[in-house]
Amino acid sequence: MRTKIWLIVNLSFIGFCAKGLAQPSLADVKAPILAAKELYFKNSDRHIDAVTDYNGYPEFWSIDNLDSHTHSFRIMWYQQEHLYTEIYLLDEGNLIYALEEIKDMPFNHRLQSRWRCEYFIQDNQVIDYTSLGMGKTEDDTWDPESMLVQFRKRQAELEKIRK
């Protein structure tokens, strides 16, 4: 009898611990990020709010408040036959999503090729990313966390833009 009670108590405790310590699935973690991404692509008006030359060439910035806690900024520039785009989505000031895209597009030509990478970020860490096309993700030395460094640089540039 004691063994049965001991077994029931231990199994109950193990079940309780397993439920309490279970991690949410990646899909559950990404769901609010995907909702913010959808909000951005549905509501962003693609206007140009600022032009900077911090990096030696014109960069065109679009800055949006998507709702009371979700903000975005997008940077585009053309250099050496490539059209570059970076998009950053922030929730309560924290980066949750980033996209970078490089389109090979020589003058007087249509799009030749495209590389893009989407980053899903939580607690200042890249939790997932998706890359399409041939680009820097093919390099063995590439680190997806480099996007966080790039974001901080861009955020500092954004703060320098005069209103």
pLDDT for 44 equals 80
- What's the pTM value of the predicted model, to 2 decimals? 0.84
Q: Where are the domains of the chain?
A: 24-160
Cα–Cα dist 8/69, whole Å: 47
Cα–Cα dist 74/131, whole Å: 19
Cα–Cα dist 35/81, whole Å: 33
pLDDT in tens, the chain (163 residues): 666 565 565 555 555 555 556 788 999 999 999 999 998 998 887 799 999 999 999 999 999 988 899 999 999 999 999 999 999 999 999 999 999 999 999 999 999 999 999 999 999 999 999 999 988 898 999 999 999 999 999 999 999 999 8
pLDDT for 116 equals 97
- Among 68, 69, 74, which Cα is nearest to 45's? 74
Beta carbons of 44 and 59 less than 8 angstroms apart: no
Bridge-based pairing state of the strands 50-52 and 94-104: unpaired
91 is written with which tokens?
A: 């929730």
